[in-house]
Amino acid sequence: MGDAKFTVIGTEVAHRGAVVTTEILQVRAPDGQVVERQVVRHPGAVAVVAVHEGSVVLLRQYRAALDHDLVEIPAGKCDVAGEDPVEAAKRELVEEVGLDARELHLLGSFVTAAGFSDEVIIIYAAIDCVEVGRAVEGVEEEYSEVIRVPVDEILPWMCDGRLTDAKSLIGLFWAREAGLLDTPAR
Protein backbone atom coordinates (compact mmCIF):
# COMPACT_ATOMS: atom_id res chain seq x y z
CA MET A 1 0.00 0.00 0.00
CA GLY A 2 2.87 2.42 0.73
CA ASP A 3 4.05 2.27 -2.90
CA ALA A 4 0.62 3.18 -4.28
CA LYS A 5 0.85 6.32 -6.40
CA PHE A 6 -1.73 9.03 -6.89
CA THR A 7 -1.28 11.25 -9.94
CA VAL A 8 -2.68 14.71 -10.58
CA ILE A 9 -3.93 14.58 -14.16
CA GLY A 10 -5.71 17.93 -14.36
CA THR A 11 -5.95 21.29 -12.63
CA GLU A 12 -8.53 24.04 -13.00
CA VAL A 13 -8.40 27.38 -11.20
CA ALA A 14 -11.79 27.91 -9.57
CA HIS A 15 -10.95 31.22 -7.88
CA ARG A 16 -7.93 33.50 -7.75
CA GLY A 17 -8.01 35.89 -4.84
CA ALA A 18 -5.71 38.42 -3.19
CA VAL A 19 -4.41 35.86 -0.69
CA VAL A 20 -5.35 32.37 -1.89
CA THR A 21 -6.17 30.53 -5.08
CA THR A 22 -8.63 27.64 -5.14
CA GLU A 23 -7.98 24.83 -7.60
CA ILE A 24 -9.99 21.78 -8.59
CA LEU A 25 -7.67 18.84 -9.12
CA GLN A 26 -8.45 15.66 -11.02
CA VAL A 27 -6.48 12.90 -9.33
CA ARG A 28 -6.00 9.37 -10.60
CA ALA A 29 -5.98 6.86 -7.73
CA PRO A 30 -3.76 3.74 -7.81
CA ASP A 31 -6.77 1.64 -8.91
CA GLY A 32 -7.39 3.92 -11.89
CA GLN A 33 -10.44 5.78 -10.65
CA VAL A 34 -10.41 9.57 -11.08
CA VAL A 35 -11.52 11.76 -8.18
CA GLU A 36 -11.88 15.52 -7.78
CA ARG A 37 -10.23 17.38 -4.93
CA GLN A 38 -10.55 21.06 -4.07
CA VAL A 39 -7.26 22.62 -2.92
CA VAL A 40 -6.50 26.04 -1.49
CA ARG A 41 -3.09 27.34 -2.60
CA HIS A 42 -1.43 29.71 -0.12
CA PRO A 43 1.92 31.53 -0.42
CA GLY A 44 2.99 30.33 3.03
CA ALA A 45 3.58 32.29 6.18
CA VAL A 46 6.08 32.99 8.93
CA ALA A 47 5.51 33.44 12.65
CA VAL A 48 7.78 34.56 15.47
CA VAL A 49 7.93 33.72 19.16
CA ALA A 50 9.40 36.90 20.60
CA VAL A 51 10.59 37.19 24.19
CA HIS A 52 11.59 40.71 25.17
CA GLU A 53 12.51 41.97 28.63
CA GLY A 54 11.13 38.84 30.28
CA SER A 55 7.80 38.78 28.45
CA VAL A 56 6.35 36.94 25.48
CA VAL A 57 5.17 39.55 23.00
CA LEU A 58 1.76 38.78 21.46
CA LEU A 59 -0.72 40.61 19.30
CA ARG A 60 -4.50 40.89 19.71
CA GLN A 61 -6.09 41.54 16.34
CA TYR A 62 -9.38 41.12 14.51
CA ARG A 63 -9.76 38.02 12.33
CA ALA A 64 -12.59 38.30 9.80
CA ALA A 65 -12.85 34.52 9.28
CA LEU A 66 -13.86 34.19 12.95
CA ASP A 67 -15.43 37.65 13.30
CA HIS A 68 -13.63 38.35 16.55
CA ASP A 69 -10.24 39.24 17.97
CA LEU A 70 -7.57 36.59 18.45
CA VAL A 71 -4.38 36.70 20.51
CA GLU A 72 -1.45 35.42 18.47
CA ILE A 73 2.30 35.47 18.07
CA PRO A 74 3.43 37.94 15.38
CA ALA A 75 2.99 36.43 11.91
CA GLY A 76 2.34 37.17 8.29
CA LYS A 77 2.25 35.89 4.74
CA CYS A 78 5.27 35.22 2.57
CA ASP A 79 3.85 37.48 -0.10
CA VAL A 80 6.83 39.60 -1.14
CA ALA A 81 8.37 38.14 -4.30
CA GLY A 82 11.88 36.80 -3.70
CA GLU A 83 11.87 37.60 0.02
CA ASP A 84 13.69 35.07 2.20
CA PRO A 85 11.48 33.66 5.02
CA VAL A 86 13.92 34.99 7.65
CA GLU A 87 13.55 38.50 6.21
CA ALA A 88 9.76 38.08 6.08
CA ALA A 89 9.77 37.10 9.77
CA LYS A 90 11.92 40.11 10.69
CA ARG A 91 9.60 42.39 8.66
CA GLU A 92 6.47 41.03 10.32
CA LEU A 93 8.00 41.37 13.79
CA VAL A 94 8.65 45.08 13.18
CA GLU A 95 5.27 45.69 11.52
CA GLU A 96 3.18 43.98 14.16
CA VAL A 97 4.92 44.52 17.50
CA GLY A 98 7.76 46.99 16.83
CA LEU A 99 10.65 44.66 17.61
CA ASP A 100 13.77 44.02 15.58
CA ALA A 101 15.46 40.69 16.27
CA ARG A 102 19.21 40.67 15.98
CA GLU A 103 18.92 36.91 15.47
CA LEU A 104 16.17 34.48 14.50
CA HIS A 105 16.37 30.82 15.48
CA LEU A 106 14.36 28.35 13.38
CA LEU A 107 11.94 26.40 15.58
CA GLY A 108 10.29 24.43 12.77
CA SER A 109 7.59 24.42 10.14
CA PHE A 110 4.22 22.76 9.82
CA VAL A 111 1.37 22.25 7.37
CA THR A 112 -1.78 23.98 8.59
CA ALA A 113 -4.53 21.90 6.96
CA ALA A 114 -3.20 19.20 4.62
CA GLY A 115 -6.71 17.96 3.84
CA PHE A 116 -7.42 21.02 1.68
CA SER A 117 -4.52 23.50 1.73
CA ASP A 118 -0.81 23.62 0.91
CA GLU A 119 -0.08 26.41 3.44
CA VAL A 120 3.14 25.93 5.38
CA ILE A 121 4.04 28.15 8.35
CA ILE A 122 7.67 28.54 9.36
CA ILE A 123 8.15 29.50 13.01
CA TYR A 124 11.17 31.32 14.39
CA ALA A 125 12.24 32.46 17.84
CA ALA A 126 13.43 36.05 18.08
CA ILE A 127 16.68 36.39 19.99
CA ASP A 128 18.05 39.66 21.35
CA CYS A 129 15.29 42.07 20.31
CA VAL A 130 15.38 45.83 20.34
CA GLU A 131 12.36 48.14 20.22
CA VAL A 132 12.11 50.07 16.96
CA GLY A 133 8.45 51.10 16.83
CA ARG A 134 5.64 49.47 14.89
CA ALA A 135 5.29 49.82 11.12
CA VAL A 136 1.69 48.65 10.79
CA GLU A 137 0.43 47.39 7.42
CA GLY A 138 -3.29 47.07 6.92
CA VAL A 139 -6.40 47.97 8.85
CA GLU A 140 -6.36 44.99 11.23
CA GLU A 141 -2.83 45.81 12.39
CA GLU A 142 -3.78 49.49 12.73
CA TYR A 143 -6.41 48.52 15.32
CA SER A 144 -4.41 45.72 16.94
CA GLU A 145 -2.96 45.69 20.44
CA VAL A 146 0.48 44.50 21.55
CA ILE A 147 0.23 42.30 24.65
CA ARG A 148 3.18 41.36 26.85
CA VAL A 149 2.82 38.28 29.03
CA PRO A 150 5.58 37.54 31.56
CA VAL A 151 7.39 34.35 30.57
CA ASP A 152 6.52 32.69 33.88
CA GLU A 153 2.79 33.33 33.19
CA ILE A 154 2.60 32.13 29.56
CA LEU A 155 1.97 28.41 30.23
CA PRO A 156 -1.54 28.99 31.61
CA TRP A 157 -2.31 31.08 28.50
CA MET A 158 -1.17 28.11 26.39
CA CYS A 159 -3.34 25.63 28.27
CA ASP A 160 -6.52 27.37 29.45
CA GLY A 161 -8.01 28.62 26.18
CA ARG A 162 -6.75 32.20 26.14
CA LEU A 163 -4.63 31.19 23.14
CA THR A 164 -6.49 29.15 20.52
CA ASP A 165 -4.48 29.93 17.38
CA ALA A 166 -2.59 26.84 16.15
CA LYS A 167 0.58 28.62 15.00
CA SER A 168 0.84 30.42 18.32
CA LEU A 169 0.38 27.28 20.38
CA ILE A 170 2.78 25.25 18.24
CA GLY A 171 5.37 28.01 18.28
CA LEU A 172 5.15 28.53 22.02
CA PHE A 173 5.34 24.81 22.80
CA TRP A 174 8.34 24.45 20.47
CA ALA A 175 10.00 27.46 22.13
CA ARG A 176 9.29 25.96 25.54
CA GLU A 177 10.82 22.63 24.49
CA ALA A 178 13.89 24.50 23.18
CA GLY A 179 14.31 26.12 26.62
CA LEU A 180 13.54 29.59 25.32
CA LEU A 181 10.70 30.15 27.79
CA ASP A 182 12.63 29.10 30.89
CA THR A 183 12.54 31.57 33.74
CA PRO A 184 15.53 32.18 35.99
CA ALA A 185 15.41 30.47 39.38
CA ARG A 186 14.31 32.77 42.15
| Domains in the chain: boundaries | 7-41, 45-177
| Catalytic residue set | 141
In the chain, the percentage of residues whose pLDDT exceeds 90 is: 90
Mind listing the pLDDT tens digit for each residue in 131-141?
Answer: 999 999 889 99
Beta carbons within 10 angstroms of residue 176's beta carbon? 16
Q: Name which residue leads in pLDDT, 122 or 2.
A: 122
In the chain, the percentage of residues whose pLDDT exceeds 70 is: 97
Task: Check whether 129 has a pLDDT greater than 60.
Answer: yes
Q: Name the helix (H) or strand (E) containing 62.
A: strand 55-63
Task: Check whether 184 has a pLDDT greater than 80.
Answer: no
Q: Left if phi > 0, otherwise alpha if psi is -120 to 50, otherwise beta: which for 89?
A: alpha
Mind listing the pLDDT tens digit for each residue in 142-162?
Answer: 999 999 999 999 999 999 999
Q: Which residues contact 163 (CB under 8 A, 6 or more apart)?
A: 58, 71, 72, 157, 169, 172
Q: What pairing do the DSSP bridges indicate for beta strands 120-131 and 45-52?
A: parallel
Q: Across all residues in the chain, what is the average pLDDT?
A: 94
Residue 186 confidence (pLDDT): 47
Residue 183 confidence (pLDDT): 72
Residue 4 φ/ψ, nearest 5 degrees: -65, 135
Dist. CA 157–CA 170, nearest whole Å = 13
Q: Which residues contact 37 (CB under 8 A, 6 or more apart)?
A: 24, 25, 27
Beta carbons within 10 angstroms of residue 26's beta carbon? 14
Residue 137 confidence (pLDDT): 87
Task: Check whether 185 has a pLDDT greater than 70.
Answer: no
Task: Check whether 1 has a pLDDT greater than 60.
Answer: no
* CATH fourth-level superfamily of 45-177: Nucleoside Triphosphate Pyrophosphohydrolase (3.90.79.10)
List Cβ<8 Å contacts ≥24 apart for 83-91: 85/44, 85/46, 85/122, 86/124, 88/46, 89/46, 89/47, 89/48, 89/122, 89/124
**Buried b / exposed e across 105-138, counting CB within 10 Å, b at 16+?**
eebebbebeeeebbbbbbbbbbeebeeeebeeee
Average pLDDT score over residue span 26-33: 97
Mind listing the pLDDT tens digit for each residue in 59-114?
Answer: 999 999 999 999 999 999 998 889 999 999 999 999 999 999 999 999 999 999 99
Cβ(96)–Cβ(142) under 8 Å?
no
Q: How confident is the model at residue 47 (pLDDT cuts 50, 70, 90)?
A: very high
